Structure formats: structure tokens, C-alpha cells
């Protein structure tokens, strides 16, 4: 049923198939203290599907090189600074 190139083997040795859930684009931004310019550790990521659905997450670093994604209620369009000017993102 599935072509061979979509198969993988898990760490436990179980054969699995990779199946696409969504595709689209993402926006990732950080929070910076406007006085000191120091960035906070938290990051926000917005996942936007090709169909226009948006999922929003806070991303926090945890042990080593791992991250905790915390789902958030989508709060609508917003402006972010791109280094030169404000841009509106979904």
C-alpha cells in the first residue's frame, strides 16, 4: 500500500510509515526587553497550514538541547519587528 521510501524504523525496531498531517509555513519570534535589548528565553512559534489554520505555541528551552512546546490560544494577527520595520503576521 505504501511506497518503500516512506517507511522508517523506530528506536524500538518497529517499522512505521511517515504520513503528512499538514504543510504550510511558520513564523518564529522572540521577546526582547526594549530598554536593555536583552532577549528572554521564551520564543513564540505560529504554524500556518496551507489551508490557513494557525496553531500557536510558546517554546521554552529545557534540559540540554530539548524544548518544551506549550500550546496557546490563537490570539489573531499581530505586528513583529523584523529588524528594520514592523510586519504583520497571521
Q: Give domain status of residue 35, yes or no.
A: yes
Residue 64: what pLDDT?
A: 85
Mean pLDDT, the chain, integer: 94
How far apart, in whole angstroms, are the C-alpha atoms of residue 8 and residue 2? Answer: 12
Q: Give domain status of residue 5, yes or no.
A: no
Q: Give domain status of residue 2, yes or no.
A: no
Containing H/E element for 32?
strand 24-32
Q: Give domain status of residue 12, yes or no.
A: no
Question: Which pLDDT band, with edges at 50, 70 and 90, does 32 fall under?
Answer: very high
How far apart, in whole angstroms, are the C-alpha atoms of residue 19 and residue 23? Answer: 11
Q: Give domain status of residue 13, yes or no.
A: no
Q: Give domain status of residue 4, yes or no.
A: no
Count CB-CB contacts under 10 A for residue 46. 20
Considering the chain, what percentage of its residues have pLDDT values greater than 70?
100
Q: Give domain status of residue 49, yes or no.
A: yes
Residue 54 has pLDDT above 90, yes or no: yes
DSSP characters for 40-88? EEEEEEEEEETTS-EEEEEEEE-STT-EEEEEE-----EEEE-SSSEEE
pTM value? Answer: 0.79
How far apart, in whole angstroms, are the C-alpha atoms of residue 17 and residue 79? Answer: 39
Question: Which pLDDT band, with edges at 50, 70 and 90, does 63 fall under?
Answer: confident
Residue 8 has pLDDT above 90, yes or no: yes
Q: Give domain status of residue 50, yes or no.
A: yes
Q: Structural domain tally of the chain?
A: 1
Containing structural domain, residue 53: 22-89
Amino acid at each position: 500500500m505504501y511506497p518503500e521510501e516512506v517507511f522508517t524504523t523506530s528506536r524500538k525496531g518497529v517499522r512505521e510509515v511517515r504520513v503528512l498531517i499538514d504543510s504550510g509555513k511558520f513564523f518564529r519570534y522572540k521577546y526582547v526587553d526594549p530598554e536593555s535589548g536583552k532577549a528572554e528565553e521564551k520564543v513564540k512559534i505560529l504554524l500556518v497550514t496551507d489551508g490557513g489554520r494557525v496553531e500557536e505555541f510558546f517554546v521554552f528551552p529545557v534540559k540540554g538541547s530539548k524544548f518544551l512546546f506549550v500550546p496557546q490560544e490563537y490570539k489573531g494577527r499581530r505586528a513583529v519587528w523584523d529588524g528594520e520595520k514592523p510586519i504583520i503576521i497571521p
